Amino acid sequence: MATEFLHADEEVSCFRDIKPGAPHHYLVVPNRHVGNCKSLGKEHVSLVEKMVETGKEVLQRNSITDLSDVRFGFHWPPFCSVTHLHLHVLAPVSQMGFMSRKYRLDFYWFITQSHPTGRAGYLGGPDPARGPQTS
C-alpha cells in the first residue's frame, strides 16, 4: 500500500495515520532518524517546532482552523510501537471516541511537545494542544 504524503520537505514529512483516532489524524515525522521522544534534547527544539507547524499547516489545508479542538503529541516509550519519532496531530478532539483514549492529553503514555515536567527533554514554547495562551 502506497503512502500519500500530505507534506514533504527536506526536514519533515506528513501522512495520514493508518489507524486514525480522530477524523483528521496525521503523523509528522523527521526525515532523519530520531529514536523517539525520550531521545529529544535542546538540539531538537527547532525540529519539534517545525513538526508542530507542519501539522498546523496540514490541518489548515484540510479546513481545520480551530486549534483549540486539536491535539499534538508523542507516545512515551514503551507505549509507542514505532522506534522513529512521530508527532500525532488529531482533530477535532471533540469527535474522538472512547477507543482514542490513548491520545488523552498529558497522560503517562501521551505527552505534548512542551510537557510541563520537561520529560521529553524539550522545554520550549507554548503548548499548541492547549490553544493560544494569554498573559
Lookup result for grid cell 483514549: 101
Compute φ and ψ for 50, nearest 5 degrees: -65, -40
- Continuous segment of H or E residues that includes residue 16: strand 12-16
Distances (CA, A) of 134 to 50, 64, 126, 130: 22, 22, 10, 11
**Catalytic residue (choose from 25, 86, 88, 115):** 86
Are residues 22 and 91 in contact, defined by beta-carbon separation less than 8 angstroms?
yes
Known active-site residue 75: no
| Edge-to-edge strands, sheet with 87-91 | 5-8, 12-16, 24-30, 87-91, 71-75, 110-111
Quote the cell numbers at residue 121: 527533554
Residues with catalytic roles: 86
